[in-house]
Chains A and B, each alone.
Chain A
Amino acid sequence: MMKDKIYEDLSTVLKRANHIRLSMLVLFGFLLVCFWKVQILDHKEYWQKAEANRLREIPISAPRGLILDREGNILAENIASYKASVLIEENRDHGDWLDKVSQLLDLEKSVLEERIQKYRGLSTYKPIVIKDNLTLREVSRLEARKLELPELIIQADPKRYYPFGKFASHIIGYLQELSPEELAIPEYKDRRMGDIIGKTGVEKTYESVLAGTDGFSVEIVDSMGRIKGEKRRREPRAGNNIRLSLDFDIQSKAEELLEGKEGIIICLDVCTGGVYSLASYPDFDPNKFINRFTPEEWMALVNNPANPLENRAIRGLYSPGSVFKVLMALAALDLDVIRPSSSFYCGGVVRIYDHPYNCWYAPGHGRIGLIEAIRLSCNIYFYQLGRRMNISDIARYAKNLGYGELTGIDLPGEKKGLLPDPEWKMEVRNEPWYAGDTISVSIGQGILSVTPLQVAVHTAMVANRGKKVIPHLLMGGNRGQVLFPNHTPSEKGTDFISQEHFESVIKGMWSSVNAGGTARGARVQGFDVCGKTGSTQIVSRETAEKLDKESKWIRTHSWFTGFAPREQPRIVVTVLVEYGGMGGTTAAPLARQIFTLFREKYD
């Protein structure tokens, strides 16, 4: 037994054991190669992944520059607010997490999901804003559960605030989140998904000035998203302030006068083109749009038939009506169709090209000269001018005196309007230009549409005796920058029209206000207001249908445009009240109040 154990032959088992040992050594070799590959050859790739793992970039919003009026009143500022963002890469248990957050933030789960889906493409470790304007209660509730939900980030975020609410809302504009389409435009190349930008008004025009530069903080986080330290930080740089030519008092007055109506009051500096007021009514409160989650209020505004979002002063297209007679008179004088002393007979109705054309004053004005024709806004007189003039000449003069072209104001979305053009008529309506069309145009009706701002600019050029004016809102920025070229009236423009022609027409406008003319409602004692009224028939079919629906019985828009004083004019006031009836009765008295206020304030 003993012997058996000592001399037992173990050679077979030892050989087998040795085989296994050798194969283990081969495996060791393979193992070393594997680690060499991962650690040395692929080192860079894994190193970057480790960095991305531990770093998280949180943008810090820069406060936007302030918007001030000409006297330094703050029209747009920033107030503290809180927003909640979420880092998607962190959360593993999606469903459960969504439930929790939507409950905490009082959000619909589907809304939250949709939003996260929308920003899926965003680079891996950047947060998605899911709610802003958090109440203090929400902030404290979230802070209390921070450990539980580390992927949720609560940040202070300067929020735009318009202290006067609806005041000058069309000029200032509003802010909203950048759309994916806008993100593709080079102008916004530095902006990120989810950023808030100016969508209209000067907020949009001067976006690059106002916006400032966002900062960021690169944080070191652990696998649960808990912050362990800060690696890099760039402080945000606030945007530059801008100062507008807007006058708080005049704009307020204009808005007050328009309340309850649909209309426009524009007030320009005759020399510089600076805008004192550009009131368009109805208006809206831009404070309501800053929420990232578009609320029902937004949809209500968009769908409102009165279209409060539209800036009618630069985007509304109207027939100028009798206001256009100023241009007709200037063109006729310059073309030698008439002389200042020329007169025509007004019998209340006139037959031209076998068609009866009426004067607004049925008994007729009798024999009437140019000054009187302007004063009393006699239609027949201007029909006679139209009959003697070429439509292309009328269009040319209109273009030189501010119509049919962008005025160049520093607001986005301005419209051009439409000048009478036979080619246009052929193309769009497939009809030739009839001589009768020219007759309609001569009293500002028919194929002709203008924006209220064009009327104001035109009036300023008349007041300037032909010198061009570019309306603008910006007066300057902070830090001594001059952001907009100096606006002195250019020497060019229409200096080919002789000064005396201007004087004749201005005399007519003066008497219209001061000698019992149609614009007498705009008269201000001692301020020498010169003006012209207009009452236009409704142009488009849509508008007519809308009228029927709303059964508005007054079917004309009411115009007044004028300037003061007669010599060395300072301001232009243009008023349009939609469905306001006769220009003299509705628009002119509103203009008078603006003239009065200006005179009190600046004289």
Chain B
Amino acid sequence: MTEKSLLKNIDWKLIFLLVLISIIGVFVIYSSSRYLPGNYFVRQIIFMLISLAVLFIFLTVNYRKLITYSLYIYIVLVGILVGILLFGRFIAGTKSWIRLPLFQVQPSELTKIAIVLVLAKVFASHKDRFVSRRRGLFGASLVLVPFILTAIQPDLGTALIFVVILAAALYLAGLRTKTVVILLVLAVILASLGWMFGLKDYQKKRITTLILPQKDPQGAGYHILQSKIAIGAGGMFGKGFQKGSQSQLRFLPARHTDFIFSVIGEEFGFAGVAVVLLLYIVFISRLFSSVKKSRDRGGVYIIFMVAVMISFQFFINVFMVIGFFPVAGIPLPMLSYGGSSLLTHYLAVSLVLNVKMRRFVNI
């Protein structure tokens, strides 16, 4: 098979949706940060072009090769995570960034891709109805290492996504009801231990203010409250592009990153929200329906984990901005400002395309 026929099998509709959502992101980033120094929307356009290029370059490498070498990719990224913990400096309160001459990179974002690949390797060779204990524990321990490294940065939000990816893989591999129950009990114990010893005060506060946002309007609940005000004030058709008082007058925190969806809610109203949500429904739905377009088990795992990862980030973010989830520091996939996050999602989609376009190929 030639490169040409591979190109023919690329899912262009998925790329179109990906780029369309990113372009909407650029507009909203412009509206919510044009008065800030730093030209965020220009940078986002550059990130988008780079990510798009990387997406296509990445397609040339067969995903099976990526699975084969996934352990090395994983080790390199874990090494970087250890490195920034030891040598990194605090940026925005966490040690999750590598400072490069022109921009900063967040390696924990790219770690998601490594985890997807390495879990695909672990579970693809498994064909039973239920996953074996040995295999399950091996996969879990592979996730545990970057989870801990990321959680102590501290970036609990990203670390949580690692667990979501693991859960998706385990679910697909098959868990007995008994195992699920044991895992849930274990999770509750770990969560309460974490609450007592592990969580920092600000993280606890975020969770308590989720339940009582009015209790502390100037503190942690302030963000949620301002976000809800922005969304609610938008009404049916919104206040108009660049006209939202909550975002333009900076009442809304993290307007161009984590709370970008609140800006859409304020400036474009429920109509705008519905349109954007619909785009995500179509996009995520297409990811899930791509699962059956894989020719092998490894591909199924990859596409499924990517689909679950992107949907979870999407849901967590959107539920966060209307106050149904704690402020977790998870950006809206493709829409929020941020190069690392954008690149990660383009790479993830690239993996899906990679699997899909090679479904007829026999090597």
Residues of chain A within 8 A of B218, CB atoms compared: 92
Report yes or no: A45 in contact with B232, Cβ–Cβ below 8 A.
yes
Report yes or no: B233 in contact with A35, Cβ–Cβ below 8 A.
no
For A17, A20, A49, A221, the residue with the greatest tally of chain B CB atoms inside 10 Å of its CB is A17
Kindly identify, within residues 23 to 72 of chain A, every residue whose CB is under 8 Å from any CB belonging to chain B.
24-25, 27-28, 31-32, 34-36, 38-40, 42-43, 45-47, 49-51, 53-54
Taking a contact as CB atoms closer than 8 A, the residue among B245, B288, B292, B307 that contacts A54 in the complex is B245
Residues of chain A within 8 A of B273, CB atoms compared: 35, 39
Report yes or no: B281 in contact with A28, Cβ–Cβ below 8 A.
yes
A5 to B230, CA, bound (A): 52
- Given contacts A13-B300, A31-B319, A221-B249, whether A24 and B232 have CB atoms under 8 Å apart is no
Report yes or no: B232 in contact with A54, Cβ–Cβ below 8 A.
no
Residues of chain A within 8 A of B297, CB atoms compared: 8, 10, 13
Identity of the chain A residue whose Cβ is nearest the Cβ of B299 in the assembled complex: A10
A184 at interface, CB cutoff 8 A? no
Residues of chain B within 8 A of A32, CB atoms compared: 274, 277
- Which of A222-230, A358-366, A375-383, A397-405 lies at the interface with chain B? A222-230
Chain A: how many interface residues by the 8 Å CB criterion? 42
A16 at interface, CB cutoff 8 A? yes
Report yes or no: B288 in contact with A39, Cβ–Cβ below 8 A.
no
Shortest Cβ distance from residue A92 to the other chain B in the assembled complex, whole angstroms? 5
Report yes or no: B249 in contact with A222, Cβ–Cβ below 8 A.
yes
Report yes or no: A46 in contact with B229, Cβ–Cβ below 8 A.
yes
Interface residues of A: mostly helix, strand, loop or mixed? Answer: helix
- Which of B98-106, B135-143, B166-174 lies at the interface with chain A? B166-174
Identity of the chain B residue whose Cβ is nearest the Cβ of A36 in the assembled complex: B270
Kindly identify, within residues 197 to 252 of chain B, every residue whose CB is under 8 Å from any CB belonging to chain A.
218-219, 226, 228-236, 245-246, 249-251
A45 to B229, CA, bound (A): 8
Report yes or no: A39 in contact with B251, Cβ–Cβ below 8 A.
no
Chain B: how many interface residues by the 8 Å CB criterion? 53
Shortest Cβ distance from residue A240 to the other chain B in the assembled complex, whole angstroms? 40
- Given contacts A34-B324, A54-B245, whether A10 and B234 have CB atoms under 8 Å apart is no
Report yes or no: B229 in contact with A49, Cβ–Cβ below 8 A.
yes
A6 at interface, CB cutoff 8 A? yes
Shortest Cβ distance from residue A223 to the other chain B in the assembled complex, whole angstroms? 4
A42 to B225, CA, bound (A): 14
A16 to B305, CA, bound (A): 12
Residues of chain B within 8 A of A34, CB atoms compared: 319, 322, 324
Interface residues of B: mostly helix, strand, loop or mixed? Answer: helix
B315 at interface, CB cutoff 8 A? yes
A220 at interface, CB cutoff 8 A? yes
Report yes or no: B291 in contact with A17, Cβ–Cβ below 8 A.
yes
- Given contacts A32-B277, A39-B235, whether A8 and B296 have CB atoms under 8 Å apart is yes
Residues of chain B within 8 A of A28, CB atoms compared: 277, 281
Shortest Cβ distance from residue B4 to the other chain A in the assembled complex, whole angstroms? 23
Report yes or no: B270 in contact with A223, Cβ–Cβ below 8 A.
no
A185 at interface, CB cutoff 8 A? no
Identity of the chain B residue whose Cβ is nearest the Cβ of A39 in the assembled complex: B270
Interface string of A419-447 (1 = CB under 8 A from B): 00000000000000000000000000000
A222 to B273, CA, bound (A): 25
Residues of chain A within 8 A of B232, CB atoms compared: 38-39, 42-43, 45-47, 49-50
A141 at interface, CB cutoff 8 A? no
Identity of the chain A residue whose Cβ is nearest the Cβ of B232 in the assembled complex: A46
Shortest Cβ distance from residue B3 to the other chain A in the assembled complex, whole angstroms? 22
Residues of chain B within 8 A of A45, CB atoms compared: 232
A136 at interface, CB cutoff 8 A? no
Identity of the chain A residue whose Cβ is nearest the Cβ of B252 in the assembled complex: A223
A2 at interface, CB cutoff 8 A? yes
Residues of chain B within 8 A of A486, CB atoms compared: none
A110 at interface, CB cutoff 8 A? no
Report yes or no: A24 in contact with B311, Cβ–Cβ below 8 A.
yes
Shortest Cβ distance from residue A439 to the other chain B in the assembled complex, whole angstroms? 77
Residues of chain A within 8 A of B277, CB atoms compared: 28, 31-32, 35
Residues of chain B within 8 A of A54, CB atoms compared: 245-246, 249, 251
B65 at interface, CB cutoff 8 A? no
- Given contacts A10-B300, A12-B129, whether A31 and B318 have CB atoms under 8 Å apart is yes
A5 to B234, CA, bound (A): 53
- Given contacts A27-B315, A39-B236, whether A53 and B269 have CB atoms under 8 Å apart is no
Identity of the chain B residue whose Cβ is nearest the Cβ of A52 in the assembled complex: B229
A202 to B226, CA, bound (A): 50
- The 6 tightest CB contacts between A and B, nearest first, are A46-B232, A21-B288, A50-B233, A222-B249, A39-B270, A223-B250
List 9 extra interface pairs beyond A20-B308, A43-B234, CB under 8 A.
Answer: A8-B297, A17-B172, A28-B281, A31-B277, A34-B319, A35-B231, A39-B232, A50-B230, A53-B229
**Chain B residues at the A interface, C-beta cutoff of 8 Å:** 127, 129, 168, 171-172, 174, 218-219, 226, 228-236, 245-246, 249-251, 265-266, 269-270, 273-274, 277, 281, 284-285, 288-289, 291-292, 294-297, 300-301, 304, 307-308, 311, 315, 318-319, 322, 324, 362
28 pairs, A vs B, C-beta closer than 8 Å: A2-B362, A5-B295, A5-B296, A10-B294, A12-B174, A13-B304, A14-B292, A16-B171, A17-B172, A17-B292, A17-B300, A18-B291, A24-B285, A24-B315, A27-B315, A28-B281, A31-B315, A31-B319, A35-B277, A35-B322, A38-B265, A46-B228, A46-B232, A53-B229, A53-B246, A53-B249, A220-B249, A222-B251
**Chain A residues at the B interface, C-beta cutoff of 8 Å:** 2, 5-6, 8, 10, 12-14, 16-18, 20-21, 24-25, 27-28, 31-32, 34-36, 38-40, 42-43, 45-47, 49-51, 53-54, 92, 220-224, 228
